[in-house]
Amino acid sequence: MIPNDFIQTLLSRVDIVDVVDRLVPLKKAGANYQACCPFHSEKTPSFTVSPTKQFYHCFGCGAHGTAIGFLMEYAGRSFPDAVEELARDAGLTVPRIERPGEKERREEAADLTELLLEAAKFYRAALKNSPRAIDYLKSRRLTGAVAARFGIGYAPDGWQNLESAFKNYDDVALEACGLVIRADDKRYDRFRDRIMFPIHDARGRVIGFGGRVIDAGEPKYLNSPETPVFSKGRELYGLYLARNAIRDAGRTVVVEGYMDVVALAQYGVDYAVATLGTSTTPTHVQKLFRVTDSVVFCFDGDAAGRKAAWRALENTLPVLADGKDARFLFLPDGKDPDDIVRERGKAQVEELFASAIPLSEYLMSELRKAHPPTTAEGRAALVNAARPHLAAVSAPVLSALLRKRLAELSGLPESELRRLTEPTAAERRAASRDAGDSGTRAPLRPARRAPSLARELIAGILLKPELARIESMPRPGSTAPEDAALLALVEFCAHAAGDLTTAGVVQQFIGSPHEATLVDVLATVEDQALSAEQAEAQLRAAIDRWWANARRQGVTVVPEGVAQTAEEVERLRQLALAEQVARRSGAT
Running DSSP on this structure, what letter comes out for residue 227?
B
Domain ranges of the chain: 4-90, 102-223, 242-442, 453-587
CA pair distance 182, 517, nearest whole angstrom: 52
Burial 391-422 (b: 16+ CB within 10 A, else e): bbbbbeebbeebbeebbebbebeeeebbeebe
Higher pLDDT, residue 101 or 371: 371
pLDDT score of 447 more than 70: no
pLDDT digits (tens, 9 = 90+) for 252-289: 999 988 999 999 999 999 999 999 988 899 989 988 98
Mean pLDDT of 556-579: 51
CA pair distance 427, 217, nearest whole angstrom: 44
CA nearest neighbour of 199 among 162, 246, 152, 166: 152
> pLDDT-based confidence at 439, cuts 50/70/90?
very low
Mean pLDDT of 473-499: 81
Mean pLDDT of 5-32: 91
Check residue 478 and give its pLDDT.
Answer: 67
Task: Determine the Cα angle at 367 with ends 382 and 439, to 5°.
Answer: 110
> Taking all residues of the chain, what is their mean pLDDT, rounded to a whole number?
83
Mean pLDDT of 526-532: 64
| Backbone Cα Rg of the chain | 28
Count CB neighbours of 327 within 10 A.
21
CATH architecture assignment, domain 4-90? Alpha-Beta Complex (3.90)
pLDDT score of 451 more than 70: no
pLDDT score of 15 more than 90: yes
CATH number for 102-223: choose from 3.40.190.10, 1.20.1630.10, 3.90.980.10, 3.40.930.10: 3.90.980.10
pLDDT digits (tens, 9 = 90+) for 206-255: 999 999 999 877 888 899 999 988 999 989 999 999 988 998 899 999 99
pLDDT score of 323 more than 80: yes
Mean pLDDT of 299-315: 92
Mean pLDDT of 554-560: 50
Q: For the domain 453-587, what is the CATH code? A: 1.10.860
pLDDT over 90, % of the chain: 43
Check residue 438 and give its pLDDT.
Answer: 40
Please, are residues 274 and 257 in contact by the beta-carbon 8 Å criterion? yes
CATH number for 242-442: choose from 3.40.190.10, 3.30.70.270, 3.40.1360.10, 3.90.1300.10: 3.40.1360.10
Mean pLDDT of 444-465: 69
Q: Is the pTM of this model over 0.85?
A: no
CA atoms within 13 A on the CB side of 80: 7
378, burial (CB in 10 Å: exposed 0-12, middle 13-18, buried 19+)? middle
pLDDT digits (tens, 9 = 90+) for 54-97: 999 988 878 889 999 999 888 777 788 899 999 998 888 888 76
Give the torsion through C-alpha atoms of 365, 366, 369, 372, to 10 deg: -70
Mean pLDDT of 366-384: 95
pLDDT over 70, % of the chain: 84
The reply to whether omega before 219 is within 30° of 0 (cis) is yes
Q: Of 76-85, 125-134, 530-539, give the range with the top mean pLDDT.
A: 125-134
pLDDT score of 105 more than 90: no
